[in-house]
Amino acid sequence: MTQPFRIKGAGTLPHTRTIQFTFDGQSYEGYEGDTLASALLANGVHLMGRSFKYHRPRGVVAAGPEEPNALVGITRDRARHTPNVRASVQELYDGLNATSQNRFPTLNFDIGALNSLMSPFFPAGFYYKTFKWPAKAWDALYEPFIRRAAGLGEAPTESDPDRYVNRFAHCDVLIIGGGAAGLAAAQAAAEKSQSVILCDENPAMGGWLLADSDIQIDGQTGAQWAANMAAELATRDNVRLLTRTTGFGYFQHNMVGLVERITDHQARPEPSQPRERMWQVRAKQVVIAQGSIERAMVFPGNDRPGIVLAGAAQKWLNQYGVSVGSRIGVYTACDTAYAAAFDLHEAGIGIEVIVDYRKVVDETILAQAREHKIEVVLGATVAQTTGRLRINGMQVKTATGEQKEFDIDALLMSAGWTPSLHLYSQSRGKPVWDEASQRFLPGESPQDCICVGGCTGTDSMEQVLAEAERALGNKPRKFDIEDDVSTDGGIIGATGNSTEKGKAFVDFQNDVTAKDIALAVREGMHSIEHVKRYTTNGMATDQGKLSNMHGLAIAANLLKKPIPEVGLTTFRPPYTPTTFGSFVGHTRGPLFDPERKTPIHDWAVENGADFEPVSLWQRAWYFPRAGETMHEAVDRECRTTREIAGIFDASTLGKIEVTGPDAAAFMNIMYTNSWDKLKAGRAKYGIMCREDGFIYDDGVVGKLSDTRFHVTTTTGGAPRVLNHMEDYLQTEFPEMKVWLTSTSEQWATIAVQGPKAREIIEPLVTGADISAENFPHMSVVECKVCGVPARLFRISFTGELGFEINVPADYGRSIWDAVWRRAQPLGACAYGTEAMHVMRAEKGYIIVGQDTDGTVTPHDAGLSWAIAKSKPDFVGKRGMMRPDLVREGRRQLVGLKTSDPGKVLEEGAQIVEDPEQPVPMKMLGFVTSSYWSGTLGKSIALALIEDGSLRLGETLYVPMADEIIEVEVTGTVFYDEKGERLHG
Amino acid sequence: MLLIHCPYCEADHPELEFANAGEAHIVRPREMSNMSDEDFEAMFFIRDNPKGVSLERWRHVHGCGRFFNALRHTVSDTFLKVYKAGEARPSNDEIAKLIK
């Protein structure tokens, strides 16, 4: 027989379409509109998962997003597997394939359940107690054990093929939650012509109204009223209704994050649709109508499959037409469970007993129970339950101490309802303790938001609707409401003596019992934040939606403190688990970051370059010829450049144009060098420091006129250098007449380096004399190259005779081609960034960020000559005078020569004086740059070493994993120390 | 995400367009060379971290590019006031009034 627990005549599902699905390989049937949980329950399946720590058999407890137990994996294909899906909210579709988690080999028989027998050894805080010693056991025992036990569910093995999108939206009123309060608020706002967004996490608006079979509003059932309200709102142009959409986070200035699930309920996801859409909504006003969440009762054995929240059972019956059992018991401290019991009873289901923790219950309710011929035991507790994979009985202790046993196959429980303060609290509103109702309620939020309905603790439907209207500034109108259910009663904390005996679960998913919380308190955890972390209460994927209040009450009770003094843990986004995909959206793969390419990029591609990313730029790394390794290519590029010439795409250099009458004065402030005496047409290597005296950036600066400087920066440094300059110009020296312009992408820069560099470019240049006499090293001239306006520098980052041609970027490729046509027949080559690095290191030219690390002064880097000491002020001048920056023993930049010339050091390797000293050794410094120099036929390296400049000639050691490398401290210039080639 | 009013653009823009630039109204003396170590430490290293009103600098970096000052309440993230660089620091009385 299929679906034996589907009750004829109950529920609102049309039963028109049967849906096939599988759970752990077994086929089942459900109906369109079912959740996975309701369909499994219709088939009599309660056991849906195993708990995290003890692997206890668990059934579904809740019918909403708060479900802690029934977490399953949903698989569409190898790449589309979603772990930890709550069966209570997963909509059923044809062919849905769900598997249980945290069990081996099967859900019915799970070896991990041995943990439960071992539970005396896994008390609260056992991680902190157990894994402390001996240290050796970490690698062999503890870490493998923890790794195997950690994690819930399995991640998919392939990357996510689905699409996720992102959308910004603005509205007058955003309403979160489409229950009675949310619908009424939406209508009130819509009628005032405000733009409205109303979202609800469920497939349909209505909230609890869909589960309440008693209530009548204006002569309609709750479900009808909700459907009509939603239909009416949908016709309005100023209202956007979003179903299957969770408001997961409330951020600053009324920005709320919503995630809309678009295809997760479809048997065949519509290919034109994204899987999820992230909405970032900025609202003038936010109305939070999150409702409330029912609490479980805390008593020994409260976690067996078949024990469910009373409200959930009621929803499964009245919405899905499913009964959770056939011989049902009830354990409650709240009136609402009676309504659930009566509904089930009226549907023909046997209610064996209602055990009420309270001694006094409203007489009208007791009278109704008598009419239903249901036994009620007041002032009683459930002392224990039985049944391995499903509850089959319970022991009740009556007010007089008498023991009674009941044969049952399901147990409804209700400890009352907790107003959902998640989003209110995320808006930075403080929850306020209401002593009378023993609940935290929303107070006033610092943002423009208001809570209405169940989440404010408002219980009666009449008041809920009135509150929603008032929130929008309306006078409440009159609704005709009948048969509203009483929500009186409730308890927070454990019942009976379950803080001392038995396993009374507070947090189902993380297996935290009332006893664990008592233990944490005994062991000195007196703040709820400590109790939470020590026991892991509320730290599972459900974030304590059922457990937080109970944990707090148990701790407060043992501490004999009022609840507000023990404190409430902080609510943080997301409200429910949210996919990474929804946050990532389109920004993945090639769209993760923009990729910057120079105008000459395509030439490099055509000529077989390998590329390396440098900040966002793609730079040609080296140009291998057929059969060449990288090493061979770099050697050849260096050799050719030094013997003939090389051309290099330096377009990525940052460039800033500094202009204005005070340009030189401003440069004097920003750079350590003096710019007063520099003549127009000359260039200078400049160092920029931060106020603390450390090197921030460097680059060659050309002075084009008294009012115009062409500043270059490191490739990655241009934006921060410009920001640094703007900061000083705008806020410290606003009186200076200077204008700063980023020109990095305006100029393409082609470096031509090597003995034949002049021969290559001379015929292309007009309007300038670039002879050695008239255009010496460190010159700049505005001229034309191939008829194109150009800024031509004579500079060198290789140590050879060199030029850098700057032309407007659009001409970059054609000028490069022209230069290449001249260079190639002479035997010159194009070289990439690796050869550039080798050649600059051979000359001891530093790279900021590689040979410096933000704690290196110009003095440390051997650049004292670039500091104009006579200047009254520059950024970093005072910082450089700090005691720590002038003391002896600072790390200074030096060269290293390995005793074995063939040995190339590892960058970052540490350097010591005596390799025989005991560990930990004293580190003198580390290698910053290291290369094989083909030109010199040996390895070269730069390093930062304590008192390096005093150690020239000293032998030091680089201890590596498998050897100790002997090095000699040298100067930083390895090639052409006199600079003769440079000036050629 | 904050919504920030740029006093130069005279419009509200999302935080994405801005960069925070640290504490406001820290005076960099023109004669820095003569500063004592203690004064330099106070000027360069020591920063307020108030629970309450923070006087801070922002730059509308992906907009007009201007630096400006703001009073932001660190508990609620409410901007009590934004004003142009160079304008005087609001008095404590004024700040107290803005909080109310």
Mean pLDDT of A244-253: 97
Largest CA distance in chain A: 115
Taking contacts as CB-CB distances below 8 angstroms, the residues of chain A near B67 are 726-727, 730-731
Token pair listed for A554: 């148990």
* Contact criterion met (CB < 8 Å) for A282 and B2: no
A221 pLDDT above the threshold of 90: yes
Q: Are A393 and A307 in contact (CB under 8 A)?
A: no
| Rounded distance between C-alpha atoms, residue A473 and residue A462, angstroms | 17
Strands, sheet with A739-742, edge to edge from the N-terminal-most edge strand: A683-689, A695-705, A708-713, A654-659, A739-742
A133 pLDDT above the threshold of 70: no
CATH class (in words) of the domain with range A492-585: mainly alpha
* Contact criterion met (CB < 8 Å) for A731 and B57: yes
A3 pLDDT above the threshold of 60: yes
Q: Are A585 and A165 in contact (CB under 8 A)?
A: yes
Beta strands in B1-100 (DSSP E): 3-6, 11-14, 19-23, 53-59, 67-73, 79-84
- For residue A111, name the pLDDT band (cuts at 50, 70, 90): confident
* Contact criterion met (CB < 8 Å) for B3 and A726: no
- The domain spans of chain B are 3-99
Residue A274: asked if its preceding bond is cis (omega within 30°), the reply is no
According to the 3-state scheme, what is the secondary structure of A163-229?
A: CEEEEEEEEEEEEECCCHHHHHHHHHHHHCCCCEEEECCCCCCCHHHHCCCCCEECCEEHHHHHHHH
| Rounded distance between C-alpha atoms, residue A873 and residue A869, angstroms | 9
pLDDT tens per residue across span A793-825? 999 999 999 999 999 999 999 999 999 999 999
Beta strands in A387-448 (DSSP E): 393-397, 403-407, 410-414, 417-419, 431-434, 439-442
pLDDT tens per residue across span A47-82? 999 998 888 999 999 999 999 999 999 999 989 999
Q: Are A258 and A575 in contact (CB under 8 A)?
A: no
Residue B79 forms beta bridges with which residues? B72
Residue A254 forms beta bridges with which residues? none
| Rounded distance between C-alpha atoms, residue A493 and residue A357, angstroms | 12
- For residue A343, name the pLDDT band (cuts at 50, 70, 90): very high
Interface test with A, best of B3, B28, B79, B83 (most A CBs within 10 A): B28
CATH class (in words) of the domain with range A295-416: alpha beta
| Average model confidence (pLDDT) across chain A | 94
Taking contacts as CB-CB distances below 8 angstroms, the residues of chain A near B86 are 731, 734
What pLDDT does A131 receive? 64
Name the phi and psi angles at A371, rounded to 5: -55, -40
pLDDT tens per residue across span A595-615? 999 999 999 999 999 999 999
**DSSP labels, A694-705:** -EEEEEEEEEEE
According to the 3-state scheme, what is the secondary structure of A575-629?
A: CCCCCHHHHHCCCCHHHCCCCECCCCHHHHHHCCCEEEEECCEEEEEECCCCCCC
Q: In this structure, which topology does domain B3-99 adopt according to CATH?
A: Folate-binding fold (3.30.2270)
| Rounded distance between C-alpha atoms, residue A588 and residue A576, angstroms | 23
* Architecture of the domain whose range is A843-970: 2-Layer Sandwich (3.30)
Percentage of residues of chain A with pLDDT beyond 90: 89
Residue of chain A whose alpha carbon sits nearest to that of B27: A732
**Do the bridges between strand A327-332 and strand A350-356 make them parallel or antiparallel, or are there none, so unpaired?**
parallel
Among candidate residues A853, A780, A786, the one with its CA nearest the CA of residue A820: A786
Given the candidates 3.30.1360.120, 3.40.140.10, 3.10.50.40, 3.40.50.300, the CATH classification of the domain at A621-840 is 3.30.1360.120
What pLDDT does A103 receive? 83
Dihedral sign for Cα atoms in the order B27, B32, B35, B39: positive
* Contact criterion met (CB < 8 Å) for B67 and A253: no
* Contact criterion met (CB < 8 Å) for B1 and A723: no
User: At residue A435, what is the residue type?
Assistant: E
**Do the bridges between strand A449-451 and strand A276-288 make them parallel or antiparallel, or are there none, so unpaired?**
parallel
| Rounded distance between C-alpha atoms, residue A507 and residue A496, angstroms | 18
| Rounded distance between C-alpha atoms, residue A518 and residue A502, angstroms | 13
Residue of chain A whose alpha carbon sits nearest to that of B19: A723
* Helix/strand/coil for A55: coil
Taking contacts as CB-CB distances below 8 angstroms, the residues of chain B near A253 are 1-3, 77
Match 């769900």 to its residue by tokens: A98
Match 């490739």 to its residue by tokens: A715
| Rounded distance between C-alpha atoms, residue A280 and residue A256, angstroms | 6
**Do the bridges between strand A71-75 and strand A81-86 make them parallel or antiparallel, or are there none, so unpaired?**
antiparallel
In angstroms, the separation between the Cα of residue B13 and the nearest Cα of chain A is 12
Match 């369909």 to its residue by tokens: A39
**Do the bridges between strand A802-808 and strand A829-830 make them parallel or antiparallel, or are there none, so unpaired?**
unpaired
**DSSP labels, A246-288:** EEEEE-GGGEEEEEEE-STT-SS--TTS-SEEEEEEEEEEEEE
Query: Left if phi > 0, otherwise alpha if psi is -120 to 50, otherwise beta: which for A881?
Result: alpha
In angstroms, the separation between the Cα of residue B77 and the nearest Cα of chain A is 7
CB of B74 within 8 Å of any CB in chain A? no
CATH 1.10.10.1100 residue spans of chain A: 492-585
* Contact criterion met (CB < 8 Å) for A428 and B31: no
Taking contacts as CB-CB distances below 8 angstroms, the residues of chain A near B35 are 878
CATH 3.30.1360.120 residue spans of chain A: 621-840, 843-970
Percentage of residues of chain A with pLDDT beyond 70: 98
pLDDT tens per residue across span A473-494? 888 888 889 888 888 999 999 9
Q: What is the ipTM of this complex?
A: 0.98
Match 């600059």 to its residue by tokens: A840
Dihedral sign for Cα atoms in the order A502, A54, A568, A523: positive
Mean pLDDT of A174-191: 97
Among candidate residues A853, A552, A832, the one with its CA nearest the CA of residue A696: A853
Mean pLDDT of A151-180: 94
Match 């290291």 to its residue by tokens: A930
Dihedral sign for Cα atoms in the order A590, A591, A596, A597: positive
pLDDT tens per residue across span A955-979? 999 999 999 999 999 999 999 999 9
* Contact criterion met (CB < 8 Å) for B1 and A280: yes
Mean pLDDT of A171-196: 97
Estimate the share of chain A in helix, then strand, then coil, as percent rounded to the nearest 5: 25, 30, 45
CB of A570 within 8 Å of any CB in chain B? no
| Rounded distance between C-alpha atoms, residue A556 and residue A414, angstroms | 21
Given the candidates 3.10.310.10, 3.30.950.10, 3.50.50.60, 3.40.50.300, the CATH classification of the domain at A164-294+417-488 is 3.50.50.60
Q: Are A927 and A942 in contact (CB under 8 A)?
A: yes
Q: Tell me the residues of chain A between 631 and 660 that have a Cβ less than 8 Å away from chain B.
A: none
Residue of chain B whose alpha carbon sits nearest to that of A884: B37
- Residue A435 is given by DSSP the state T
Taking contacts as CB-CB distances below 8 angstroms, the residues of chain B near A692 are 44
- For residue A127, name the pLDDT band (cuts at 50, 70, 90): low
**Do the bridges between strand A96-100 and strand A216-217 make them parallel or antiparallel, or are there none, so unpaired?**
unpaired
- Higher-confidence position of A982 and A396: A396
Cα dist from A512 to A549, A553, A558, whole Å:
13, 14, 16
Taking contacts as CB-CB distances below 8 angstroms, the residues of chain B near A873 are 30-33
- Residue A368 is given by DSSP the state H
CATH 3.50.50.60 residue spans of chain A: 164-294+417-488, 295-416
pLDDT tens per residue across span B37-86? 999 999 999 999 999 999 999 999 999 999 999 999 998 899 999 999 99
* Contact criterion met (CB < 8 Å) for A251 and B57: no
Name the phi and psi angles at A75, rounded to 5: -115, 125
Task: Please name the residues in contact with A252: beta carbons below 8 A apart, sequence gap of 6 or more.
Answer: A447, B1, B2, B3, B77
* Contact criterion met (CB < 8 Å) for B2 and A252: yes
Which H or E run contains A957? strand A955-959
